[in-house]
Amino acid sequence: MKTIILLILLNAIPLASKAQYFNFGYGDDIFAGRTDRDRENYTEPKFQKGNESIKKFLQKNFKNPPGQSRSTSGNIIVSCIIDTKGRVEKAAIARGLTEELNKEAVRVAKKMKFKPAKYGKKKVKSKTNITFPIRKGKLSFNNFETFDL
């Protein structure tokens, strides 16, 4: 009996470790098992003011946390679910840096407004990633794409 319980616990450890990864329950490929026609009928979400203005929005709204180390560099990726009204329904860190920068990135991502994704003429929920490039502890755009669909 002890052996059975031990085996069950050992098998549960990998499951518990995978739970720490970001997952909203939506598949990574929204077109898995779909046809090419389905892909053609899908329109990706767009930032309300156009994808070119995302950088301006992020620069205006992203506030660098005080006392941030100048040695901090990398990309914060916020994974979001965009609802049928274009609001960010859920946002979570897919890849982060420091706790303060991560919180700020999620805060800013939740403020964003989108034109929702469409399947045919119907508005649908969708998943997207927003990248915040951090260089020397500050938000920095040097030929860097911030919007990844």
pLDDT digits (tens, 9 = 90+) for 55-108: 889 889 999 888 777 888 899 999 999 999 999 999 999 999 999 999 999 999
Contact between 109 and 130 (Cβ < 8 Å)? yes
* 18, pLDDT greater than 60: no
> 28-42, 102-116, 119-133: which range is least confident on average?
28-42
**What per-residue confidence (pLDDT) applies to 38?**
65
- The full set of domain ranges for the chain reads 2-148
In this prediction, residue 148 carries a pLDDT of: 45
pLDDT of residue 145: 52
More confident residue, 29 or 37: 37
pLDDT at 66: 83
In whole angstroms, what is the distance from residue 129 CA to residue 109 CA?
10
What's the pLDDT score for residue 3?
Answer: 60
Give long-range contacts, CB 8 A cutoff, 24+ apart: 91-99: 92/22, 92/24, 93/22, 94/22, 94/129, 97/72, 97/134, 98/65, 98/68, 98/69, 98/72
Mean pLDDT of 29-44: 67
Global confidence as pTM:
0.69
Q: What is the mean pLDDT of the chain?
A: 77
Q: What is the pLDDT of residue 137?
A: 81
d(CA 79, CA 92): 6
What value does the mean pLDDT take over residues 114-131?
Answer: 92
The pLDDT of residue 141 is: 75
